[in-house]
Amino acid sequence: MRMDVQRIHILPAHEAQKIAAGEVVERPANVVKELIENALDAGATSISIYLEEGGKKLIRCIDNGCGMSAIDARLSIAPHATSKISSVQDLSSLTTFGFRGEALASMASVCQMELITRLEGSPAIKLTIRAGAITHETIVAANKGTDITLKDLFYNVPARQKFLKTTKTEWNAIKQLIDAYALAYPSLHITLYHQQERIAQYNPAETIAQRASDIFESSVSKRLIALHKQDAVAQATMTGIISDHQVNRYDRSQLYFFVNNRWIKNHKLGTALLRGYRNVLPEGRFPYAAIAITVPPHTIDINIHPRKEEVQFLHPRLIEGLIEEVVAKALPQQAATPVTHFVHSFSTPTIPVQAFHIPVHPLPQTTTCVAPEIPLPVLPEKQVSTHTQVPQARILSQLKQTYIMIETEAGLMLIDQHAAHERILYETIGTRYKNAESIQLLFPELITLPRGHTINEEQYELLRNFGIEAEPWSENQIRISATPVYLKPHMLSALVEELTAHTHNIAHKVQAMLACKAAVKAGDVLNDSEMQELVHKWLAIENRLTCPHGRPTSWLMSNYEIEKNFKRIV
Ligand code: ADP
Ligand code: MG
Atom of ligand 1 nearest to the CA of 102: 6
Select from 185, 321, 324, 205 the least CA-distant residue to 260: 185
Among protein residues, the one with the nearest Cα to ligand 1's atom 23 is 39
DSSP three-state, residue 113: strand
Check: CB of residue 370 under 8 Å from CB of residue 529.
no
Does 348 score more than 70 pLDDT?
no
How far lies 131's CA from each of 16, 77, 153, 188, 237, in Å?
Answer: 12, 11, 11, 32, 44
Tell me whether strands 189-194 and 46-52 are parallel, antiparallel or unpaired: parallel
Query: What's residue 90's pLDDT?
Result: 74
Among protein residues, the one with the nearest Cα to ligand 1's atom 25 is 67
Query: What's residue 338's pLDDT?
Result: 35
- Whole-number Å distance between alpha carbons of 47 and 63: 5
How far lies 17's CA from each of 113, 304, 310, 486, in Å?
Answer: 15, 20, 23, 72
- Whole-number Å distance between alpha carbons of 107 and 78: 11
CB of residue 147 inside a 6 A radius of ligand 1: no
Among protein residues, the one with the nearest Cα to ligand 1's atom 2 is 98
The rounded Å distance from CA 331 to ligand 1 centre is 41
Query: What's residue 354's pLDDT?
Result: 31
Closest ligand to C-alpha of residue 84 is: 1
Tell me whether strands 469-474 and 477-484 are parallel, antiparallel or unpaired: antiparallel
Most confidently predicted of 5-9, 147-151, 377-381, 452-456: 147-151
DSSP three-state, residue 544: coil
Among protein residues, the one with the nearest Cα to ligand 1's atom 27 is 38
pLDDT in tens, 280-320: 887 778 999 999 999 998 888 877 777 777 888 988 999 99
Atom of ligand 1 nearest to the CA of 145: 24
The rounded Å distance from CA 299 to ligand 2 centre is 22
Query: What's residue 22's pLDDT?
Result: 67
Closest ligand to C-alpha of residue 91 is: 1
CB of residue 34 inside a 6 A radius of ligand 1: yes
Among protein residues, the one with the nearest Cα to ligand 1's atom 12 is 76
19 residue type, one letter: I
Mean per-residue pLDDT, 94-120: 88
53: left (phi over 0), alpha (psi -120 to 50) or beta: left
Provide the edge-to-edge strand list for the sheet that holds 469-474. 438-448, 477-484, 469-474
Per the DSSP assignment, residues forming a β-bridge with 242 are 225, 289
Does 150 score more than 80 pLDDT?
yes
Atom of ligand 1 nearest to the CA of 148: 23
User: To test the ligand 1 pocket, which listed residue (40, 75, 104) has its Cβ within 8 A of the most ligand atoms?
Assistant: 104
pLDDT in tens, 377-407: 333 333 338 333 446 789 999 999 999 999 9
Query: What's residue 178's pLDDT?
Result: 95
CA atoms within 13 A on the CB side of 117: 27
DSSP 329-388: HHHHHHHTHHHHT--S--SS----GGGS---SSPSPP-SS----SS--PPPPGGGS--SS
How far lies 138's CA from each of 62, 69, 123, 127, 135, in Å?
Answer: 18, 13, 10, 7, 11
pLDDT band with cut points at 50, 70 and 90 for residue 241:
very high
Query: What's residue 434's pLDDT?
Result: 60
Query: What's residue 344's pLDDT?
Result: 24
